[in-house]
Amino acid sequence: MRKIRLILTLSLVSFLVPMSCNDDFLNTKPLDKISSDATWADEALSQAFVFNIYSFLGYGGFEEQMLAAITDEAMFTHAGRNINTVTEGAESPSNVGWMSGTYEWNNMYLAIREANIAIKELPEATFTNQDKKDQLLGEALFMRAYYYHQLLRFYGGVPIIDKPYGLNEDYSIERSSFGEVVDFIVADLDEAASLLDGKELERGRANKIAAMALKARVLLYAASDLHDMPTASANSSMLSAFSAKDLIGYTSGSQTTRWQAAKAAAKAVLDAGTGYKMNYVAPAPFDEAKANYISLSMGGGSKVADAGASADLLFERTHTPLYTVENNWPLGGIHFGINNGPNGYHNWAGNTPIQQLVDDYEMMDGSRFDWNNPIHKADPYANRDPRFYGTILFDGADWKPRPSDVATLDPANEIQTGYYANGSGGLVNGVDTRESSVENWNGSRTHYYVRKFIDPDPSVVENQSGYQVVPWPFLRYTEAVLNYAEACLELGEEAEAKAWLNKIRFRAGMPAITESGAALMNRYRNERRIELAYEEHRYHDARRWMIAPTTLGRPIQEIYIEASLKPGKSPLSPYRHDKTVYTYSYTPQLNTENESRKWDDKMYYRPLTRNEVSRNAKLVQNPGY
């Protein structure tokens, strides 16, 4: 049997017998490695091998540069990270721009290779616990499906490799069609769901409902306009001219049938779970609604969050041995708050919200925010969707106590991203601006900061030495609800779609949706945008709906905030937000400091690298590259 080597910690191999002085040194086994035979003969070692497959998930979406930063959700503050190569349409096979290891081609195939080894070896594993074998095999199948789904939604159809290659084999293989990859993923997930049925696993590990939810997502994508080639070709001359259309979508078959499959898969998830607080019959009160959304983003893991929020998480990146060792999360925590919080807290302002996202939060009565409305313009952060206050830190927002060296500048603990009259004809720079005396190079360029996924507990330190334990939501019950509603809308079942959408809206304190037709579809798409903000959906949704030219391709907007003194008033020192003392003006404006965003239809897919195509002559490059 071919041997593989699995590097383990010394604690996992401490059972090995030390070499005796009489032993033949030629028969010595390495003390830091385990053979293939030994791995699959031992339940704990087999599980350790499967845990290594999970490690390719990395930090989930909690990376310093988030996927949100190449969408109309966020702008990455720090220049020189090659993000503009992607957002300005300058990407090429020789320069693919910024790319995360959570979907990068080579890394995904490394993960798939590990999964293939486990899938091959586990059925013949010689340890005796059959229930554990089935569980581990189910997890390996799920993970293989997850990594193929990552490749599929970034690149289109890819080579299907379902076995571990050995030495001296021909590694050249053609890309499978988009539909073939969808079918392969669905088959893996169906088998995984069967094997994981009835298995009670700790949070962070694959389970039956996670397999069902991923299947629902994959089928939703498969039904979408970008992958229905008659529709996609009508919307894009570049895609129409591509000679290998089957690599990026379906050239035949019924899109309606595909929507029906997506609907059925999503409904199966809804029937198998309960979600979180999906039983409101009217909008929740404002404070309760805001707390609901914060609780969801904390995954039930915060002392201030409702533990029931974990009912919404179907598959998550959390604080377990699956991830902490392989990816070096110190103390099991993450740097999300440090990476993204305000510079006035010694944070790094990484993926700051842009004005386009802020503007898409509705008013509390369900109407659209409108800069042409003088009431909205005068006080743009008042009376908005409660989820806004759980997602965005804006000028004047309450936040945590400041670090000791900043506390005297802001004893009120409010976000300061504006410029405030000093009473002598000048302005005081907000503590959280780029002109601040506190780490100005880490200030937001958009004058907003992300609030979502940052633990609001004041005892959780958010500075350069602090961590927090917050799960990354790979799959949520709420996403399955949205997937179901979208499929219903595409099939003309508007009443059913609205019934489920209003469950989400009532939980969020928002009034029922009443529109129909195109207006209803637009409301659905905005609802999905708001509910799933910063969760790595917008990049894929804008592309599969083929609205990317008018959304992802828009120039970045920021907000400029200035406060003048009201007649007879003196400036507050230290400054604090006070509408009785200051008159605040808000001016949206373009920001092209790091990027000049535009859209090119080649951006519907990421390119295959020049090196990858050179290694495998059978690969066909994506359109436009």
Give pLDDT tens digits for 216-271. 999 999 999 999 999 999 999 999 999 999 999 999 999 999 999 999 999 999 99
**C-alpha to C-alpha distance for 480 and 314, rounded to whole angstroms:** 10
Query: For residue range 329-340, what is the model confidence (pLDDT) as tens digits?
Result: 444 457 888 899
Query: In the chain, where are the structural domains located?
Result: 6-17+30-57+103-273, 335-468+557-590
Burial code (b: 16+ CB inside 10 Å, e: under 16) for 201-223 equals: eebbbbbbbbbbbbbbbbbbbbb
**Phi/psi of residue 312, each to 5°?**
-80, -25
Burial class from Cβ neighbours inside 10 Å (0-12, 13-18, 19+) for residue 30 reads exposed
pLDDT of residue 171: 80
Query: For residue range 379-415, what is the model confidence (pLDDT) as tens digits?
Result: 999 999 999 999 999 999 999 999 999 999 999 999 9
For the entire predicted model, the pTM comes to 0.93
Mean pLDDT of the chain: 91
Residue linked to tokens 């009508």: 234
The upper half-sphere exposure of residue 521, i.e. CA atoms within 13 Å in the direction of its Cβ, equals 11
450 contacts: CB under 8 Å, gap ≥ 6: 74, 340, 341, 351, 352, 353, 391, 392, 393, 534
Burial class from Cβ neighbours inside 10 Å (0-12, 13-18, 19+) for residue 92 reads middle
**C-alpha to C-alpha distance for 562 and 564, rounded to whole angstroms:** 7
CA terminus-to-terminus distance, the chain: 43
Distance from CA of residue 331 to its chain's centroid? 22
Question: With bands split at pLDDT 50, 70 and 90, how would you rate the model's confidence at 326?
Answer: very low
* Domain range 6-17+30-57+103-273, its CATH number among 3.20.20.70, 1.25.40.390, 3.40.50.300, 3.40.50.880: 1.25.40.390
Residue linked to tokens 């239809």: 601
Query: For residue range 88-103, what is the model confidence (pLDDT) as tens digits?
Result: 999 999 999 999 999 9
Please choose, from the candidates 621, 602, 595, 501, the residue with its C-alpha nearest in 3D space to the C-alpha of residue 543.
Answer: 602
DSSP 8-state symbol, 493: -
Residue 568 has pLDDT above 50, yes or no: yes
* Alpha-carbon dihedral sign for residues 88, 92, 97, 101: positive
Query: For residue range 167-193, what is the model confidence (pLDDT) as tens digits?
Result: 778 889 999 999 999 999 999 999 999
Query: For residue range 122-169, what is the model confidence (pLDDT) as tens digits?
Result: 999 999 999 999 999 999 999 999 999 999 999 999 999 999 987 778
Instruction: Return the SS3 of 351.
Output: strand
**C-alpha to C-alpha distance for 461 and 287, rounded to whole angstroms:** 24
Token representation of residue 135: 């569980």
* Alpha-carbon dihedral sign for residues 184, 188, 193, 194: positive
